[in-house]
Structure 1
């Protein structure tokens, strides 16, 4: 058991979680804290992010902080990284999880709709990854990044129409691979997870006929939970994955296999 704990321990690490105020980000942040890490929540929902950070600190007896940060603004991201490093003492790992979906038929997508999704889901991942990597390089530190992509980067969703989301997540997968190759010489590993349909605050509000369609099309015959993503993220952030970079780990209940 001691060896198992050591394999997946994040003890002594400081982990940034973007989009960590709720949903997948919040649940995964809790699990990361449970295996020993201190947590920094980046989120636009300032009060909710602070409440999440305070709750994690109390529950897991770790150090936390919340930073209101718009991941689409490089200068704000850089300031947030600097602020987090100053308050936490260091930064080690990043879970890039902020994202949105705006389901709409492609013929009806307005330019602002398209740009909003791409800016948050793809550009935001790059801007935070770049600022975080610059911090690591400047301080001669090794580190790891896990990005949240989606099975939507591999398949086309149905019945909802989400061309902007699918495109952004496909971009995250290939960005992950590109950064992995470019940064391996710097000791920075970059991987991503690609969740299938996960039951969260957002998906529970989707029309029931959509949820039924998703479940019926998934061999597991259910949606996943945020808790079922935590192990994948912890593995990819931990030293157990020291020879793994550029990986897209699909966690989808076999959805993409049929």
Structure 2
């Protein structure tokens, strides 16, 4: 359907070297977009694999490495994308980290690293992307948050992670309202328990069965199940949707 087509669009995806970001980048290409792929230098192998998948769908791929906490890295990546692929019109910010520490003993450095990567990194990404999109007068941005930005996960000591994702949701709403009259839509995507590299961490490995049992659909999501909701938010099918947090959690937050 034309409503869901991304034909002729140019997208950038942060965190494109693995997990949800990688799946979404490939999905954007399948829907017709050319895609700039951004991730850390140590994710180069994953970025290469993503690029192969993107070009396999007949679309152009451009790889850029850097850190979302460094504004200069993001500015260089966006400039490279526009030189190589054309005017930026879509963005998905999926770069992020996860870990767990009891709040009473959490080191300040661990708190600050989480907020810097998951929240400040998303802000800097949106800022760089919007600076390009505002020139063209159009664009759509999706920030990957988490259901943990709205609820507290039983059994997980991750106050810093939950706080960072709550921040992403509110940031997305705030930016949506700042740019609502200037052609840019901004929304958040909040996955539930998803079998991404984050949920293969040692501290949650033994809890995956419990997570599935606590989810009404009785299973963990595959990363590919985040592609369709993201395509919707980026496409003309969501032309009247902005400032929204789309929760994709198998019903978890309904209980």
TM-score range, shorter chain: over 0.9
Q: Among 168, 171, 174, which residue is 2:170 paired with?
A: 174
Select between 94-103 and 38-47 the one with higher mean Cα deviation.
Answer: 38-47
CA RMSD of aligned residues (A): 1.3
TM-score for the superposition, normalised by structure 1? 0.94
2:58 matched to which residue of 1? 61
Structure 1 pair 68–208 and aligned structure 2 pair: CA distance change class (3 A): closer
2:80 is the alignment partner of 1:83: yes
1:235 matched to which residue of 2? 232
Deviation per residue, 1:19-60 (Å, 9 max, x gap) = 010111111111111110111111003522441343123320
Question: 5 Å matches for 1:1-258?
Answer: 5-44=1-40, 45-138=42-135, 140-206=136-202, 207-258=204-255
TM-score for the superposition, normalised by structure 2? 0.95
CA–CA distance in structure 2, aligned partners of residues 46 and 67 of structure 1: 11
SS in 2 for 1:47: helix
CA–CA distance in structure 2, aligned partners of residues 73 and 145 of structure 1: 19
CA–CA distance in structure 1, aligned partners of residues 159 and 21 of structure 2: 23
SS in 1 for 2:243: coil
CA–CA distance in structure 2, aligned partners of residues 189 and 39 of structure 1: 19
CA–CA distance in structure 2, aligned partners of residues 83 and 111 of structure 1: 35
CA–CA distance in structure 1, aligned partners of residues 23 and 54 of structure 2: 14
CA–CA distance in structure 1, aligned partners of residues 179 and 127 of structure 2: 10
How far the C-alpha of 1:7 sits from its partner, in A, is 1.0
List runs of 5+ in structure 1 lacking aligned partners. none
Q: Does the 8 Å CA contact 1:10/1:37 hold for their aligned counterparts?
A: yes
How far the C-alpha of 1:228 sits from its partner, in A, is 1.1
CA–CA distance in structure 2, aligned partners of residues 249 and 201 of structure 1: 21
List runs of 5+ in structure 2 lacking aligned partners. none
SS in 1 for 2:132: helix
